[in-house]
A and B are shown apart, each in its own frame.
Chain A
Amino acid sequence: MVVGVKYCGGCNPRYERRSAYEKIKSELLLFAQKGGWDIIFEAAAEGVTYDALLVVCGCANRCAAIGQYHSRNIPVYLWDESGLTDAVSELEKLVE
C-alpha cells in the first residue's frame, strides 16, 4: 500500500506534527511487517493515485488543500495528538 503524506502549512501547530507522523509511520511499518504486507509512505504528489492519503494538520481547522491529490480511499486526518491511535487504526484497516 502506498500512502501519500500531506502536511498543512504549519502556521500555528498545536503539537509536533513531524514526530506524530513518524510515530504513525513506525507503527504502520511494524504492523505491515508482522502481517507480511508492503507499505510505503511518500510525500503526496499530484498525478499519482494513492491507496491512502494521510493529512497531517496542526490544528482542528485542517486547512490543508487536498483537492489536487487522488486516493482510492477517503483521506485519514490527524489534527491533534489524541487522534494518533485512531489514525493508526484507520490506516491499519486499509493495509489489511
Chain B
Amino acid sequence: MALMTGEQYVESLRKLNTKVYMFGQKIDNWVDHPIIRPSINCVKMTYDLAQDPEHEDLMTATSSLTGNKINRFAHLHQSTDDLRKKVKMQRLLGQKTASCFQRCVGMDAFNSMFSTTYETDKAHGTNYHERFKKYLTYVQDNDLTVDGAMTDPKGDRGKSQGAQTDPDMFVRIVEKRADGIVVRGAKAHQTGSINSHEHLIMPTQAVSEEDKQYAVAFAVPSDAEGLFMIYGRQSCDTRKLEKDADVDLGNKEFGGQEALVVFDDVFVPNDRVFMCEEYDFAGMLVERFAGYHRQSYGGCKVGVGDVLIGAAALAADYNGANKASHIKDKLIEMTHLNETLYCCGIACSAEGYPTDAGNYQIDLLLANVCKQNVTRFPYEIVRLAEDIAGGLMVTMPSQADFRSDLTVPTKSGMTVGQWANKFFVGADGVSTENRMRILRFIENIALGASAVGYRTESMHGAGSPQAQRIMIARQGNIAAKKELAKAIAGIKE
C-alpha cells in the first residue's frame, strides 16, 4: 500500500486491539467515542490532504529508502527544502484543524532515530541503523501513524532515573533475552498515542553508566501485549457527550489527544530494538528529537494561530467593533507575533545541515529560539483574541438555551430561546448563532479542550521553557560576542 485514504486510516484503527481506559472504564469502541473521535479526525486530515492535488506537494515526499511516494510524516528530510516543507505542512494542518494533529512526534522521532542509530553503530559496532531502516520502510510502505514517545513520568525531578523510590518512573529494560528485551515503565502526555498504529520509544533525558538500563529505544505495535493507555481528560471534554453537541464545542470536528501509555513488561523482539544500554547516545537522541520538535511548533501553532486571528477578526465584525483602530492594531499585533513564530520555524529549517547518516537536522540554536517564543506568543495572541471577543465568550448561555422553546411565564410570553437571541444579538445583519459560534471557538482555544494544544502544549511540549534556555546558553557563544565587543571598543587584553 502506498498512501492510505483518510477512511482507510480510520478503518485500520478498528483492526487494532488497542487497550484504552477513560473515566475508570475500559473503552472498547474508542474509534467512535465522542470524546476521542475529534482527535482521530485530526490525524485523518493528514491522510486526506495527502490525496488532494492542492496540498499533496507539502503532504507527500519521495522516500529516500524506497523511491516511493510516501506521506511526508514518514519522510527522512533530505534537504533544507524538506525541512521547510515540513514546517509549511504543519502550518497547513493547523489551519485545517485548529488543533494538534498529532502525527509530527513520529516524524521527529524517525529523523532523530535514523541519525542517532547510525552514529551509535559507528561507535559500538551494533546494527541498529539497518534495523531502523527496515522498520521505517515498513512504516512508510504501510503509511502508518507512529507515536514518538519520549517523556517519562519522572517521579521526583530532583533525582536521576536510578535514584527514584519507584524504579518504574522511567522506562527501562527489566530483562534481556536472546531474542529481545522486556521493558517496564510508562510514557506520560503521549500525543495521539491511541490514534497511532505504532509506538517508537526514546529515553527522556541523558543517561549515566550506572543507570544504563534506562538507555533504551524501541518500537512496538500500539496493541502489544502488556501495553495499555489511560486517556488524559481535557477542559470541557464532557461537553462532547451532550445531546446534539455543536455550538458549545467551538470546534465540533477536531481536537487533540494525550494519554498515559503503560508498559507492564512488554516484550520487544531484537529487530525492533534501536538502543540497548548505549547510554552515551541517549543524550544525542534526546537533543535531536527535541530540536526537530521545537522546529515543529513554528509550523503547527502558527496554523492554529491563523484560525484564531480569523476568529478574532470575525468576532469584531459580529460585535460591530471592526472599525475601531485599536481592534485593527490588535489584529496586526496578533499577525506579527504569529508570523514571527513562522519565521523561526523557517529559519531553523533553512539553516539545517546533513547528519553523518545523510538526513537533515535543523539548526539547534534557532530551533530552541523558535520554541522559546512559542512558550510566550500564543498566550499573547490568545489574550488579544479574548480582548477582542468580549466577555460573552465565557458567560453566554448554552446552545440548548438559544434553541429552547420553553415559554418564560412573564408578560412578554417569549421563550428562553427568544430571550437569549434578543439580548445576544450583535451587529445588524449578523445571526446570533454565528456570533455564538465564533465566540465558542475562541473559548475552546483559550480555555476549552483546544487550550491543551494551543496553550499548555506550547509551554511544555518539546520541553519546558528552561530546557530551551539551557540549549540557547550552550549554543549562544557569549565568548565570541565578548571578542566582537572588545574589537569594536578597542580593548586589547
Number of interface residues of A (CB under 8 A): 15
Cβ–Cβ contact A9 & B84, under 8 A: no
Q: Mark interface residues in B12-38 (1 if CB within 8 Å of A CB, else 0).
A: 000000000000000000000000000
Known: A63-B84, A63-B85. A11 touches B53 (CB 8 A): no
Q: Does B172 contact A (CB under 8 A)?
A: no
Known: A63-B84, A63-B85. A11 touches B91 (CB 8 A): yes
Cβ–Cβ contact A11 & B89, under 8 A: yes
Q: Mark interface residues in B55-68 (1 if CB within 8 Å of A CB, else 0).
A: 11111001000000
Min CB distance A36 to B, Å, is: 29
Cβ–Cβ contact A11 & B54, under 8 A: no
Collect the chain B residues with CB atoms within 8 Å of residue A68's CB.
Answer: 62
Cβ–Cβ contact A5 & B53, under 8 A: yes
Cβ–Cβ contact A43 & B59, under 8 A: no
Which of A7, A12, A18 sits near B57, CB closer than 8 Å?
A: A7
Collect the chain A residues with CB atoms within 8 Å of residue B89's CB.
Answer: 9, 11
Collect the chain A residues with CB atoms within 8 Å of residue B56's CB.
Answer: 7, 9
Known: A9-B85, A9-B92, A10-B92. A64 touches B53 (CB 8 A): no
Cβ–Cβ contact A9 & B55, under 8 A: yes
Cβ–Cβ contact B88 & A7, under 8 A: no
Cβ–Cβ contact A12 & B91, under 8 A: yes
Q: Does B483 contact A (CB under 8 A)?
A: no
Chain A, 8-30, CB within 8 A of any chain B CB: 8-12, 17-18
Q: Does A70 contact B (CB under 8 A)?
A: no
Which of B62, B81, B88 sits near A11, CB closer than 8 Å?
A: B88
Cβ–Cβ contact B57 & A9, under 8 A: yes
> Considering the chains assembled together, what is the distance between the CA atoms of A47 and B382 in angstroms?
47
Known: A63-B81, A63-B84, A63-B85. A7 touches B53 (CB 8 A): yes
Collect the chain B residues with CB atoms within 8 Å of residue A18's CB.
Answer: 54
> Considering the chains assembled together, what is the distance between the CA atoms of A64 and B53 in angstroms?
11
Collect the chain A residues with CB atoms within 8 Å of residue B54's CB.
Answer: 7, 10, 17-18
> Considering the chains assembled together, what is the distance between the CA atoms of A81 and B80 in angstroms?
28
- Nearest A residue to B59 via CB reads A9
Cβ–Cβ contact B58 & A10, under 8 A: yes
- Nearest A residue to B299 via CB reads A11
Question: Which of A7, A9, A68 has the most C-beta atoms of chain B within 10 angstroms of its own C-beta?
Answer: A9
Q: Does A40 contact B (CB under 8 A)?
A: no
Cβ–Cβ contact B91 & A8, under 8 A: no
Cβ–Cβ contact A8 & B53, under 8 A: no
Min CB distance A20 to B, Å, is: 12
> Considering the chains assembled together, what is the distance between the CA atoms of A34 and B333 in angstroms?
51
> Considering the chains assembled together, what is the distance between the CA atoms of A47 and B464 in angstroms?
48
Known: A63-B81, A63-B84. A43 touches B92 (CB 8 A): no
Chain B, 52-102, CB within 8 A of any chain A CB: 53-59, 62, 81, 84-85, 88-89, 91-92, 95
> Considering the chains assembled together, what is the distance between the CA atoms of A26 and B127 in angstroms?
58
Chain A, 39-69, CB within 8 A of any chain B CB: 43, 63-65, 68
Cβ–Cβ contact B57 & A65, under 8 A: yes
Collect the chain A residues with CB atoms within 8 Å of residue B62's CB.
Answer: 68
Collect the chain B residues with CB atoms within 8 Å of residue A65's CB.
Answer: 57, 81
- Nearest B residue to A64 via CB reads B57
Collect the chain A residues with CB atoms within 8 Å of residue B85's CB.
Answer: 9, 63
Collect the chain B residues with CB atoms within 8 Å of residue A9's CB.
Answer: 55-59, 85, 88-89, 92
Question: Which of A7, A11, A65, A68 has the most C-beta atoms of chain B within 10 angstroms of its own C-beta?
Answer: A11
> Considering the chains assembled together, what is the distance between the CA atoms of A63 and B89 in angstroms?
12
Collect the chain B residues with CB atoms within 8 Å of residue A5's CB.
Answer: 53
- Nearest B residue to A66 via CB reads B57
> Considering the chains assembled together, what is the distance between the CA atoms of A11 and B58 in angstroms?
8
Known: A9-B88, A10-B92, A11-B88. A43 touches B53 (CB 8 A): yes
Collect the chain A residues with CB atoms within 8 Å of residue B92's CB.
Answer: 9-11
Collect the chain A residues with CB atoms within 8 Å of residue B53's CB.
Answer: 5-7, 43
> Considering the chains assembled together, what is the distance between the CA atoms of A11 and B62 in angstroms?
19
Collect the chain B residues with CB atoms within 8 Å of residue A43's CB.
Answer: 53
Please give 18 more A-B residue pairs, beta carbons under 8 A apart, in addition to A10-B54, A11-B89, A63-B84.
A7-B53, A7-B56, A8-B57, A9-B55, A9-B59, A9-B88, A10-B55, A10-B92, A11-B91, A11-B95, A11-B303, A12-B88, A18-B54, A43-B53, A63-B81, A63-B85, A65-B81, A68-B62
Query: Which 7 A-B pairs have CB atoms at the shortest separation, nearest pair first?
Result: A9-B58, A11-B88, A9-B57, A43-B53, A11-B92, A11-B91, A7-B54
> What would 27 A/B residue contacts be, using CB atoms closer than 8 Å?
A6-B53, A6-B57, A7-B53, A7-B54, A7-B55, A8-B57, A8-B58, A9-B56, A9-B57, A9-B88, A9-B89, A9-B92, A10-B54, A10-B55, A10-B58, A11-B58, A11-B88, A11-B92, A12-B88, A12-B306, A12-B342, A17-B54, A63-B57, A63-B84, A63-B85, A63-B88, A65-B81
